[in-house]
Chain A
Amino acid sequence: MDIALEQVGYTYAAGTPFQKRALHDVNVRIPSGSYTAIIGHTGSGKSTLLQHLNGLLKPTAGRVRIGDTEVTKETKGKQLKPVRRKVGIVFQFPEHQLFEETVLKDVMFGPLNFGVQEEEAKARALRWINRLGLPEGTAEKSPFDLSGGQMRRVAIAGVLAMEPDVLVLDEPTAGLDPAGRKEIMDLFYELHEQRDMTTILVTHSMEDAARYADHMIVMHDGTDVLQGPPGEVFGDAERLAGWRLGVPRTVSFQRLYEEGAGLPHGPAALTEEQLASYLAAHLGEGGSAS
């Protein structure tokens, strides 16, 4: 399911003295099946953009196409519900949305709202609770008795149980420790591969964008300034710095090495493994690569 924004603008509190333009002239396309990372400095408009991806906000200008639904400022609230079934969002600190007496009921909440039958909703909930690696018996517990990391997983299961075609992730690992962070990110990547899902990751972490995404959108000052594969986006550190963004650690290390060694800039190394191979190619075996 493709998502495209055409000439999208969004202004908060339009027509009052407090109005604030958050987005203008946004033209982006998120191809079906892609893993797209959206990066941008705080205040660049990326969280406003995110809320347009499933009709939580309607654009005040332009239109958003989500599959075959078109959302403009005239679109009625009722028409948005089917869109929300297809596009699930895992918000930042999703554990803040938990409310039910048991984990099972909380995970079933989404599917039931979208008209899934009780039996099926329950089966799905149990499947996702298990898939997220929560211990046996968690389903019957109160979500408020779990540890922070477990609550996060329950909340994520609640979105995945809706079995959306598009999964939007807003800083899904904020506040987790390194091991937890990696487990969750790897799980999303696995799901992306296995379920042929479109995944959209909004993140501050250039490392995550580089490691997982195949397509990137850079936001600055309320509009899209660059789109392309990570290798290209991270190739030009200076341009990114102009938008107050950095490059992944691997790339900054690579550039440092290249400049000190008097080498031309090679293609950006997006993961530590790539960087190691790149360095080895230069240094190993008598420097056959240079």
Chain B
Amino acid sequence: MMEKMVFGRYIPGDSFVHRLDPRSKLIFVFIFIAAVFLANSTLSYALLLAFTLLSILASKVRIGFLIGGLKPVMFLIAFTFLLHIFFTKEGDLLFELGFLKIYEEGLRQGIYISVRFLVLVLMTSLLTLTTSPISITDGLEVLLNPLKKVKFPVHELALMMSISLRFIPTLMDETDKILKAQLARGSDISSGTMKERVQAVVPLLVPLFVSAFKRAEDLAIAMEVRGYRGGEGRTRYRQLKWDWRDTTALLILLAVIIALWFLRG
């Protein structure tokens, strides 16, 4: 089940999209999200969909994998689609079966909203699928840099994010170990009343917190010994490089936006 999830997963690769600078990808996705709301005609939605599919092709991520992994979201999209179809009562009546009445405007709105939803989800998933979490953090840190002027702790937040990412697998292993140790002592999480189940989580959570705090303490000491005292005067080992690919990607996006503008109804 977890293995098939696409959200937040990173799949290493060497495509055009993978090689983009995380900054250009972040900017691209933000602008794209805003641009989606420009679309209001069948042609403009068609363009958005086509452009999204092309982006997926350029990333070499298998479409089947992407759609399969987004199943829960697909249900949500289908649900909104149905809501619009049944509750919008404008335009010509297209179809009638008993109390079920489908109007032209309902169908149109249903399709529009679904496409909008779909391209948003696909594009953001594409960002996380082709960019390692640590690169996203780097990109965000640089992009948010101007906020330092208003005392926003950009560096600290980025460091927190990268350390959390680094410790996720460690804490997952730890959870598994503690769970097994308590099971071996006869603890039972999968049966009993709701109250019993909640109580059964305590033997898992307490040790997990204790260990997380211990790790945090150790890590803070190790960081201090290695000369960490905030972002001031630090240099960066992870360098970001903006090249022709990044400029090209943003130019293409600009062209799409201009086209969207002309295709508006």
Binding site for B on A (CB under 8 A): 13, 16-18, 51, 54, 56, 77-78, 81, 84-85, 88-89, 91, 94, 96-99, 109-110, 113-114, 144, 158-159, 162
Contacts and interface: CB of A to CB of B under 8 A. Distances in A.
Given A78-B191, A144-B210, A96 B185 contact: no
Contacts of B180: 51, 56, 91
Given A77-B190, A78-B191, A114-B186, 6 more contacts: A16-B4, A56-B183, A56-B184, A97-B185, A98-B207, A109-B185
A12 B31 CA distance: 42
Interface in B155-188: 174, 177-178, 180-188
Interface residues of B, number: 22
A77 B180 CA distance: 13
B181 A113 contact: no
B203 A109 contact: yes
Contacts of A77: 190-191
A164 to B, nearest CB: 10
B186 A110 contact: yes
A54 to B, nearest CB: 6
B211 interface: yes
A97 B178 contact: yes
Q: Sorted from nearest, which 6 A-B pairs have the closest CB atoms?
A: A113-B186, A99-B206, A110-B185, A97-B181, A16-B3, A89-B184
Q: Give the most central of A18, A54, A96, A158: most B CB within 10 Å.
A: A96
Nearest to A99: B206
Q: Give the most central of B185, B191, B203, B210: most A CB within 10 Å.
A: B185
A19 to B, nearest CB: 9
A84 B183 contact: yes
Interface in B1-41: 3-4
